[in-house]
Amino acid sequence: MTEMTRLQQRGVRLPRTERRAQLLAAAQRVFAENGYHAAAMDEIAEVAGVSKPVLYQHFPGKLDLYIALLESHVDELVKRVQTALDSTTENRQRVPATVGAFFDFVSEDAGAFRMVFESDLRGEPAVQEAVDRATSASVDAITETITADAGLDEDKARLLAVGLVGMSQVSARFWLQHHQSMSREEAVALTANLAWRGIGGGFPLKDS
């Protein structure tokens, strides 16, 4: 019996955090296949291998489940960006690392990036807030780094950060749709080189 089969059997008791992760994974599959409006809690429970009461113990409704899943994807993206920024003290390497974080996010789980960047529920305030955080938290992290390293005031650093995030996000999404003709490494290098010529050339590392 495989681990997945064991976990999907009804009646198997899991720690709350593991059960929540299992339910989110099932929800991701159903939302990705059917979209939010056509997805049903019955189907999510079935895919997870649990009863509907168990599902509702963790998530009171479909929107709550969707937002929890969306928030987990946003957290993952922000974590990737912060890890990229912390991976080196050399800005020449930070830029491609940061750009690469967006490319990795869109390529490793298409369903996740579509929920974050192409959600069809943006009219829902809680969804819009989570979607906005994907950009704002990434911008905040990059702004802090640029302010410290280049000696710019916060407004100028934030504008550069917004540019880098926007360029990375849009380029990564475009590449995902047309990547057959270009490797991930080449796409990241092209995007990072464009960004670096502006940031690195115009705002060199401040003397300590």
Please say whether the beta carbons of 192 and 167 come within 8 A: no
Domains identified in the chain, total number: 2
Within a domain: 47: yes
Q: Is residue 56 located within the same domain as residue 86?
A: no
- What local confidence, expressed as pLDDT, does residue 66 receive? 96
We report the CATH number of the domain holding residue 43 as 1.10.10.60
- What local confidence, expressed as pLDDT, does residue 12 receive? 61
Euclidean distance between CA atoms 175 and 75, whole angstroms: 23
Q: What's the chain's Rg over C-alpha atoms?
A: 20
- Non-local CB neighbours of 71 within 8 Å, separated by 6+ positions: 130
Q: Is residue 51 located within the same domain as residue 82?
A: no
Within a domain: 192: yes
Within a domain: 5: no
Within a domain: 129: yes
Euclidean distance between CA atoms 194 and 105, whole angstroms: 20
We report the CATH number of the domain holding residue 143 as 1.10.357.10
Q: Is residue 55 located within the same domain as residue 126?
A: no
Tens of pLDDT, residue by residue, the chain (208 residues): 344 444 444 456 778 889 999 999 999 999 988 889 999 999 999 999 999 999 999 999 999 999 999 999 999 999 999 999 999 888 788 899 999 999 999 988 778 888 898 888 888 999 999 999 999 999 999 999 888 776 778 898 899 999 999 999 999 999 988 876 889 999 999 999 988 876 554 445 455 4
Domain assignment of residue 40, given as a range: 14-60
Within a domain: 9: no
- What local confidence, expressed as pLDDT, does residue 191 receive? 93
Q: Is residue 113 located within the same domain as residue 148?
A: yes
Within a domain: 109: yes
Q: Which long-range contacts (CB under 8 A, 24 or more apart) does 72-77 make?
A: 72/24, 73/109, 73/112, 73/113, 73/115, 73/116, 73/134, 74/116, 74/130, 74/131, 74/133, 74/134, 74/137, 76/105, 76/112, 77/101, 77/102, 77/105, 77/116, 77/134, 77/138
Q: Is residue 103 located within the same domain as residue 28?
A: no
**3-state per-residue secondary structure call for 73-128:** HHHHHHHHHHHHHHCCCCHHHHHHHHHHHHHHHHHHCHHHHHHHHCCCCCCCHHHH
- What local confidence, expressed as pLDDT, does residue 1 receive? 35
- What local confidence, expressed as pLDDT, does residue 198 receive? 61
Q: Is residue 76 located within the same domain as residue 55?
A: no
